[in-house]
Amino acid sequence: MTRHLILLNLFLVIVTDSFSQSFLISEPDLAYDGSRLSITYDLKAGNEKDLFYIWVEIRDTSGNSVHTSSLKGEFGEKISPGNDKTIIWLPAEDSVLNDVDVTVEILGEKYETSFKKGSALITSAFIPGLGLSKIREDSKWWLMSIPVYGAVAGGLFYHFNYLETYEAYSAESEIIPRNDLFSTAQKQSDISAVCFISAAAIWIVDMIWVAASPKRYKPLRYPGISLGYLPAPEGRVSLISFKIDF
Residue by residue, pLDDT tens for the chain (246 residues) are 323 333 344 333 333 333 345 788 777 777 777 778 788 888 888 888 888 888 877 777 777 777 778 889 998 888 899 899 898 888 888 777 645 566 667 778 888 887 788 888 888 888 888 888 887 776 788 888 888 999 999 999 999 999 999 999 898 888 888 899 999 999 999 999 999 999 999 999 888 888 888 777 777 766 543 333 333 444 443 444 444 443
pLDDT computed for residue 182 by the predictor: 92
Q: CA 130, CA 124: separation in Å to the nearest integer?
A: 6
pLDDT computed for residue 223 by the predictor: 52
Give first-to-last CA distance, the chain, whole Å: 42
pLDDT computed for residue 150 by the predictor: 92
Q: CA 244, CA 10: separation in Å to the nearest integer?
A: 10
pLDDT computed for residue 59 by the predictor: 74
Q: What is the pTM of this model?
A: 0.53
Quick one: which of 78, 75, 54 has its CA closest to 217?
Answer: 78
pLDDT computed for residue 100 by the predictor: 56
pLDDT computed for residue 212 by the predictor: 83
> Given the DSSP bridges, would you call strands 82-89 and 37-45 parallel, antiparallel or unpaired?
antiparallel
Residues contacting residue 114 through CB under 8 Å, at least 6 positions apart: 135, 216, 217, 218
Q: Which amino acid is at 101?
A: D
Residues contacting residue 25 through CB under 8 Å, at least 6 positions apart: 41, 42, 43, 44, 54, 106, 108, 244, 245, 246
pLDDT computed for residue 220 by the predictor: 77
CB 148 within 8 A of CB 126: no
pLDDT computed for residue 239 by the predictor: 43
Orientation angle between helical segments 117-126 and 175-212, nearest 10 degrees: 160
